[in-house]
Structure 1
């Protein structure tokens, strides 16, 4: 558990200094008791920013690999001090979770369940697994006469693979999953809530830390420079939706996925989680440079944590997918969305014009290009 009254958390950061055209190594101290920050230049022994409260900065944003905005100073978090790591990451483990071939309308509910149970999702994508992957995944039931049926079920449909992080994540994930049979699973467990039977019991959990590490590598790793499990993006007749970092922190990812999947007009054909660099964010949003006054802040927010890219398609291929999906998202300003389209994604989950829940493609001709930027260009970065 994180100790909210711990004196301070210390992070080692980098900041690009335009005056010297060089990277500057800095220390960011975060004081959880009053949500204040301090930036120190250890080489010069001076405070770049004296301790001051910064309400927009949340503790969940302070993760290695993220960029944080402290009074327009963009700090890339490289590492954290040993004492901070001990407190924030005490007993943390990664485990592999796989959502089995269930109706897409259930994906959002399952993701919401996972996040409410205290797991941090750090990798996610949909995909198809082959027989060898499935045999490795289910080697602990190799002697079961149900094995051929299980293998056939998980290899014929689409799955979602997740890396979940939490204290003692391997055991915790199996505990919240519940027993194999949904009928005998404990009340409140995932399988009891959403499972149909022993075969269609929603999701899989690894038994050991070693197994979890192996399956994470098999699902998210590379072989000969290629992803073992390729992305599902088709890059055709689609639009792009980016679920922004603040949505991850707010715990609303599942709700947005559910809203899209339960719409009669759309389905999600590809999903994957990305960490975006500031240079990539500026390139992706370049069309808005000089057009929207929020351009710089839009770019910064996209780098402040993990984001989720979706390839979205229309059930009716004759429909203009880009234009129709923009209606589901609502206007860029959530306040305007709440007035005009109160049931839109931005009205329900947006906070302001920067933290407006999602990005969606503006121009009809850019749908495929924006999906390609994430699932092809960033994927190989």
Structure 2
């Protein structure tokens, strides 16, 4: 018999406005899946090859895409699956502090190279009160007021990081709290490389699984609309979407580094899982003009994407030129240093979407940071 793993998954059906639950069977020998409707007790999907899913993608808390349906993995379906795949998976908070937000590309590169995954991300600016709530355990410390002033002085980037023993792995990547100590004891750590002192020390990492759960709920609450707000400005800006294929290929850090190196200001950043209806609506302007429209919609639905607000005078034109032609092959021929030339694969999987018309820049930013983040 084929080796197989079983999961319980949920899918929100936007047409019926229902949350549907399925058993998902995954066969690693040929990367095929089959699904059974839990409520109706019948087969929903016959065994079908699904190259977009690997064994590493299947763990509780992750989201996978099967035939354009985004499925939330909510439980392991049997003890064998739980014992084999679930024993070491953890989620933790990685928080980039105000002094290192421009280093987000480097941080993400380090995360991916350590076999961890970023599954949620959001740039936000904490108020003094929010910072105090987050660091409540330090309120009796002499450095508390100085730390609160620093943490509320400029945007931070919060990320949910998932992987085997993610909490301890991330703490090792972070290094000791005091950068001089980190330089002696863990010279490759983030604090050793970029930290200044015990407060301006680049990043925060959860100490324990319990702390991680509390801190993730602070930035990514289960109740929509109750977390810290995004930092979108909605003026002199354009929209950039790092596409799902680029994220799954671990290119996010490289793309962010390229954008920062070119002098563009990332004024808002957030990861989204876009449903079919929203993808069709966002790309509607291309429906009658671009033959790849339906493939573009499918790609945007295939996994998490990252939306960016790029803020700068005359941004739409200059940033569109920086992204390069939609066809990566043409981009490599004519503009080899553009984002699509460097990171694109074809006209659909071309690394990034960018606003084409200057007048649509703010509208596209609003679609993600106001409508989808509402």
TM normalised by structure 1 equals: 0.83
Distance 2:81 2:262 in 1: 43
Distance in 2, matches of 1:292 and 1:23, equals 33
Equivalence for 1:163: 160
Query: Number of matched residues?
Result: 358
Deviation at 1:11, TM superposition (A): 4.8
Q: What are the Cα deviations for residues 177-224 of structure 1, in whole angstroms up to 9, with x where unaligned? A: 11012222213222122222322211011223222222222222388x
Question: Normalising by the residue count of structure 2, what TM-score does the alignment of the two structures yield?
Answer: 0.85
Distance 2:57 2:334 in 1: 31
Structure 2 match to 1:3: none
**1:208 corresponds to:** 208
Q: Is the 8 A contact 1:62 1:77 kept in 2?
A: no
Q: Measure the CA separation in 1 of the matches of 2:9 and 2:92.
A: 28
- Residue 8 in 1 paired to residue 4 in 2? yes
CA RMSD of aligned residues (A): 3.0
Q: Provide Cα deviations, 1:44-74, integer angstroms capped at 9, x if missing partner.
A: 6697356x5x5555455657543233xxxx4
2:85 and 2:331 mapped to 1: Cα distance? 37
Q: Measure the CA separation in 1 of the matches of 2:244 and 2:138.
A: 38
Cα deviation digits, residues 299-334 of structure 1 (max 9, x gap): 1111111111111111xx2x2x11111111111111
Question: What's the offset of the Cα at 1:104?
Answer: 4.3
Q: Indicate yes or no: 2:176 matched with 1:182.
A: no
Q: Closer, same or farther in 2 for the Cα pair 1:24/1:291, shift >3 Å?
A: farther
Q: Secondary structure at the match of 1:180?
A: coil
Structure 2: distance between partners of 1:228 and 1:56: 31
Q: What whole-Å deviation, never above 9, does each CA across 1:107-145 have from its counterpart, x for those lacking one?
A: 211121122222221211111112233234334444443
| Partner in structure 2 of residue 258 of structure 1 | 257
Other-structure match for 2:245? 246
Note the C-alpha offset of 1:37. 1.3
| Conserved 8 A contact 2:101-2:155 | no
Does the 8 A contact of 2:307 with 2:368 survive in 1? yes
**Alignment correspondent of 2:87:** 90
- Which stretches in structure 1 are left out of the alignment for 5+ residues? 1-5
**Corresponding residue of 2:270:** 272
